[in-house]
Amino acid sequence: MGRTGSEPRVTYTRGELGHRLVRRTDASGIIVTILGWYLNNVDRYTWVIKVLAPKYIEALSAYEVMLTSARASPSGGPPVAPVVMNAGDRGFSEILFLLADKFPETRQSTVTRMTITDVGLAIGVYAPETGVYYSGVQPALEITLKDGKTLARYVNDLRPEIRGRFLEEPLFHWSMGLFWAGIAISFVALFVPEK
């Protein structure tokens, strides 16, 4: 609906307008502060992760399903087949992104599927190419390329990389945005005349 011209026009004095802006600036500052608090406590509020870092949930869930299925073998029962992820499955592209350095062959070819076939445990293993000692889970990843070629090797646990790339990095960008929004709001408030 547009104005018909018969409604009275609302005008504010400079002081009234400044007072309204200060109230809005104060409210905006409170909102930015609350959002910043949620970002700081993201581990306690999963809805924040779902909204701001959905790729983290997809990647971690897919990885955990593959990892758990490779570990599962009921005692005394037949072995359980590991879960296979196919291109297009949720979390597939995120995990593949993290594996590009570990499987350089995937950069020139299309990956059609991946699975974890075994889970090993490394204790104080030294990797000369990175100069890092590692202790922890080492899943045996098997990747199938479009041409049918299969690549397999043990890699270090991907959970820290998944967290860093798909949770901590996006949350850092959101935090930085909120910080600078708060600074801008505070800066604007300095120039608003008080009533």
Residues with Cβ within 8 Å of 110's Cβ and at least 6 positions away in sequence, in order, are 87, 145, 146
* pLDDT at residue number 78: 65
* pLDDT at residue number 44: 85
The residue written with tokens 């500052």 in the block is: 29
DSSP annotation string for 32-91: HHHHHHHHHTGGG-HHHHHHH-HHHHHHHHHHHHHHHHHH---TTSPPPPPPEEETTSTT
More confident residue, 189 or 35: 35
* pLDDT at residue number 166: 95
Can you give the pTM of this predicted structure? Answer: 0.75
* pLDDT at residue number 135: 87
Structural contact between residues 90 and 119, judged by C-beta atoms closer than 8 angstroms:
no
User: What pLDDT band is residue 18 in, cutting at 50, 70 and 90?
Assistant: very low
CA dist 165 → 58, 119, 127, 132 (Å): 13, 23, 22, 19
Percent of the chain, pLDDT > 70?
Answer: 80
State pLDDT tens for residues 60-70: 999 999 998 88
* pLDDT at residue number 66: 93
Tell whether the model's pLDDT for residue 89 goes beyond 90: yes
State pLDDT tens for residues 110-162: 999 999 998 888 888 887 877 888 888 999 999 999 999 999 999 999 999 99
Average per-residue pLDDT in the chain? 82
More confident residue, 53 or 14: 53
